[in-house]
Every structure is written in structure tokens, then in C-alpha cells.
Amino acid sequence: EIERMSSVKQSSYPAYDIKKISSNGFLIVLALAGFSTRDLVVEATSSELVVYGNGEKNSQTEYIHKGIAKRAFTKTFRLADNVVVDGAEFKDGLLSIHLHREEPRKEIPKKISIKS
């Protein structure tokens, strides 16, 4: 089940973890050193979770060594059936996205009246 929530084949940047935090709860954590909340967008549909990061554009800073990558990215995760995104928080360079699996709703047949 957790494998079904794994990322679509794409770049390994940024690094991320997917943690199971309860029987129905999951946490996706992305390592985003150098980013701020203004640089990030998180969007969810019923089948995908997409995280966009706006990277550094033409910085005027002169680096002696630049080891912290702050480049633009799009990270897409396929969501398993009935997995819902609860929210996200950004703290200490880590973006944490909370998800949970809802129990499937039983479909109740709808009675159709027959006119004569």
C-alpha cells in the first residue's frame, strides 16, 4: 500500500521520506534547505500530490563554494485510493505533508421510482 503512494519516476531531488505514522496515517517529508514557504506550492487531487519549488533565479551572490542546491523542482506522488491530504507545514528546512487513508464508503443503492 505504501508503495502505491511512492513517487512517479523522476529526479531524486529533493530528497524525501515517506513515514507510516499510524494504521491510516502517513507523513511525506521533503528536505528543502534554503527554501521558504513563498518558494513552495503544494497541490492535491484525488490521485496525485504535487509539490513545486521555485529555485534561486540569477542570484547576485558570489559563492566560494555552493553545496546547497536551491533549484526549481516538481515532485509528484501518486496517491493510493482513498488517501487524502490533511495539510502541510514547513519548519527547519523540512516540508511535512500529512495524509490519511479513509475507509471506502459503501455505495448505497438509490431506489428509483417507477411511474405508470
Per-residue model confidence as pLDDT tens digits over 72-113: 999 999 998 889 999 999 999 999 999 999 887 777 888 888
SS3 state of residue 2:
helix
Spatial CA neighbour of 56 closest among 64, 65, 41, 68? 68
The number of domains in the chain is 1
Query: Does some domain include residue 35?
Result: yes
* pLDDT, average across residues 19-24: 94
Quote the pLDDT of residue 87.
95
The answer to whether the beta carbons of residues 74 and 103 sit under 8 Å apart is no
Quote the pLDDT of residue 1.
46
Question: Which pTM does this prediction carry?
Answer: 0.77
Quote the pLDDT of residue 9.
53
Query: Does some domain include residue 12?
Result: yes
Output the CA torsion 6→11→12→13 (10° steps): -120
Find the radius of gyration of the CA atoms of the chain: 19
Quote the pLDDT of residue 76.
93
CATH code: domain of residue 81:
2.60.40.790
